Amino acid sequence: MKPLDGVLIADFSRVLAGPYATMLLADLGAQVVKVERPGIGDDTRAWGPPFADSTATYFLGVNRNKQSVALDFTTAEDAALARELVRRADVVVENFLPGTMDRHGLGYEQVRELNPGVVYCSITGFGADEGAGLPGYDLIVQAVGGLMSVTGETGGSGTKVGVALVDVVTGLHAAFGIMAALRHREQGGPGQRVEVSLLTSLLSGLSNHSSGYLAAGVVPRALGNAHPSIAPYEVYQAADRPIVIAAGNDRQFERLCAALGAAELAADPRFGGNRERVAHRDELAAELNRLLSARDADAWFTALSAAAVPCGPINDLAEAFALAERLGLGAVAEVEDPRRDGPLRQVAHPIAFSETPATYRSAPPRLDEDGAEIRRLLAHYARTAQSHGTE
């Protein structure tokens, strides 16, 4: 028994935020029918390199455990099948520009007439009102939403985060909202619309920066790898390569100084408390870099970790997965795919459940791979509904 067994999700989303949300739900047992454009499919099918067996790994990363059907909403037959799908679905997810689904008879109010209990999740870039016409690309939201202004070197023009982080955060918010709405319905409440935007998700995700602005009027700026409110909390230079140290309180700072063989630093008035260390961040960094230059980063990682000082080298992704494996975190899933020579290796579902673990039932589908089966099933349901006078 999986947590979302019996939940049918009609997934009209594409690219990243929506597909990421629906994949997380599919991992927990939901049946996800991915509706795609005939002949083209999800844009990310072509977003490469890299490719794996001619399929973009961008697409593969967020579309396992799904079925694919290609529907052309401009044709009467496919439009009727799409309406039948949303009529039967527990959840509808879409991330078109506001108004697009309405033009095809698939907007929230239209779907609610067919399916009063539906949980209808709309993902937009900037909402459905004044920002309705603005396209929701992660890079654009990173820019206008303030993330780039706090990322990069001091005095720089702004740097994007190296992954579409806003899409991922928005996908998490969408999945969270869907689960809450399903729980509300399970308790006897009605279906409802769940709206998530990239901009509001980013503003929420900016957390301490957003709080600092709203509560104290402070507009943060980029500080490179330093933290605006904590020191030492940045990148330092060991003998061979950089190492990150994140001493978040006075006790950790004292242990750091002792492990570096410089206990006197903790008694220095410039570094006696976090406020003082932040005010004298540059002087502190110079002292730490001088001490750290005596040993390699891996040696310091071992020594400082043993002293309970939060730290770590700057790993590449291969080293990061190796660390996760060494720690026994189970970060890699192998998804069986008869179309490939061996299983497809993917990032595992990030949540570990003691009783209902995520499952990997199928690899990401080829475009319209399940189209014939889904079309037959939806046509059967439509005929049955008509014969019973329910539509």
H helices present in the chain, as ranges: 17-27, 57-60, 76-88, 100-103, 108-114, 138-144, 165-186, 198-205, 208-216, 250-259, 274-279, 281-292, 297-306, 317-326, 371-387
Tokens of 34: 């991915």
Catalytic residue among 11, 167, 368, 370: 167
**Phi (first) and psi of residue 227, to 5 degrees:** -110, 140
Strand order in the sheet with 242-246: 233-237, 242-246, 311-313
Cβ contact 120:195 at 8 Å:
no
Of 336, 335, 315, 337, the residue nearest 326 (C-alpha): 315
Residue 90 annotated in active site: no
Report how far residue 231's alpha carbon sits from residue 380's, in angstroms, rounded to the nearest whole number: 64
344, 334 contact by CB (below 8 A): yes
Which residues fall within 8 angstroms of residue 254, CB to CB, at 6 or more apart? 263, 266
Interatomic CA distance for residues 267 and 263, integer angstroms: 8
Cβ contact 11:18 at 8 Å: yes
> Residue 56: enclosing H or E segment and its boundaries?
strand 55-56
How many beta carbons lie within 10 A of that of residue 202, not counting itself? 22
- Amino acid identity of residue 129, one-letter, is D
d(CA 248, CA 324): 23
- Which residues belong to the active site? 167
